[in-house]
Amino acid sequence: MKKIIVTGGAGFIGSNFVHYVYNNHPGVHITVLDKLTYAGNKANIEAILGDRVELVVGDIADAELVNKLAADTDAIVHYAAESHNDNSLNDPSPFVHTNIMGTFVLLEAARKYNVRFHHVSTDEVYGDLPLREDLPGHGEGEGEKFTAETPYNPSSPYSSTKAGSDLLVRAWVRSFGLQATISNCSNNYGPYQHIEKFIPRQITNVLSGIRPKLYGAGKNVRDWIHTNDHSSAVWTILEKGVIGETYLIGADGEEDNKTVVEMILEAMGQSKDAYDHVNDRAGHDLRYAIDSRKLREELGWTPEFTDFKAGLAETIKWYTENENWWKAEKEDVEAFYAKQGQ
């Protein structure tokens, strides 16, 4: 692969992938196609824009633009999405536009120009799992996690549009022989994540003198993975993945939300209980957990950043040192949540 398009490459995870490819695969030219919505930020890739990394500002649902770019590439790595559950509960329409229509336009272009396609998706397409404490034997063993065979059961407008986009990809593989793979990853954390999301919201709350906000009782469990590990996994699938296959990406990082808030508070020198319980999210998924054995055993991938406490400390340091990156948006983000009692 000499030329790739990365959709959503100015967002949190997409920009991490662009840096990953830039640093590790010097022979590859990257065209970032990004609409620069509220979640996209040119600053995330500014330092590497030049001969090897180009930014095209545009909509993945713009067929004319997408066709023009697809005619001159070897692969499309598709990250662009509306990605936040809480926003999808407030207004689902951009989620249908980008996640469904945008993916459709990209698939048609990949089909037309016979381009390798990798679709970046989420574990949320599988719905949720019971809490371990409610399972016989407390859910020890891999059997109690999502696998590629778990039936789709999405809960929110966000996850249902991601599920719809996955199914489009599968149909394009079967009906048209598209050279595509899919990955479904668990919750990412790390630098450059928008402050609407759980971990950066709480870190920037503490930095702004606001108490962290925990939805409901905080028993919900997420399976945290450092975004650098997500990037190495996607590259592995792009190079070695079997066409038509789905790979689940995870790093065995299950933590409940209350524990994560307490860890952030402790790491930032605050009292562990200095947070507020706020209104729960409608339809809030209880637990996600990934069984990533297929990716590890068949493609030889292993995560590197498995010390969550250390990764969290590094993330706190980044938000502390990069106030300019997030400060201007903080008031609006908190005003949005305040309207919902969150």
Q: Which residues bind ligand DAU (CB under 6 A)?
A: 83-85, 122-124, 186-187, 197-198, 201, 213-215, 220, 222, 257, 281, 288
Question: Which one-letter DSSP state was computed for residue 57?
Answer: E
- CA 51 vs. chain centroid, Å, equals 27
Q: What are the residue ranges of helices labelled H in the chain?
A: 12-24, 63-70, 85-90, 93-95, 103-112, 157-176, 198-207, 227-240, 257-267, 293-299, 308-321, 323-339
Cβ(289)–Cβ(144) under 8 Å? yes
**Residue 126 among the catalytic residues:** no
**Residue 124 among the catalytic residues:** yes
Could you tell which of ligand NAD, ligand DAU, none binds residue 194, using a CB distance below 5 to 8 A set by kind? ligand NAD
Question: With CB under 6 A as the contact rule, which of the stretches 30-38, 138-146, 208-216, 290-298 interacts with ligand NAD?
Answer: 30-38
Cβ(63)–Cβ(105) under 8 Å? yes
Among 19, 87, 102, 205, binds ligand NAD (CB under 6 A): 102
Among the listed residues 247, 234, 236, 243, the one whose alpha carbon sits nearest the alpha carbon of residue 295: 247
Cβ(206)–Cβ(264) under 8 Å? yes
Size, binding site for ligand NAD by CB under 6 A: 30
**Residue 158 among the catalytic residues:** yes
Per-residue binder mask for ligand NAD (CB under 6 A), 135-174, x = binder: ---------------------------x------------
The active-site residue out of 123, 229, 262, 285 is 123
Q: What are the residue ranges of helices labelled H in 208-307?
A: 227-240, 257-267, 293-299
Question: With CB under 6 A as the contact rule, which of the stretches 53-61, 127-135, 169-177, 305-313 interacts with ligand NAD?
Answer: 53-61
The active-site residue out of 34, 86, 124, 229 is 124
Query: Residue 4 or residue 61: which is nearer to ligand NAD going by CB?
Result: 61
User: Locate tokens 């100015």: which residue?
Assistant: 10
Query: Residue 165 or residue 205: which is nearer to ligand NAD going by CB?
Result: 165
Among the listed residues 161, 184, 164, the one whose alpha carbon sits nearest the alpha carbon of residue 172: 164
The two structure tokens encoding residue 119: 């679709």
Residue 200 makes contact with ligand NAD by CB under 6 A: no
Q: Which residues are catalytic?
A: 123-124, 158
- Binding-site ranges for ligand NAD (CB under 6 A): 7-8, 10-14, 34-37, 39-40, 59-61, 79-83, 98, 102, 120, 122, 162, 185, 187-188, 194
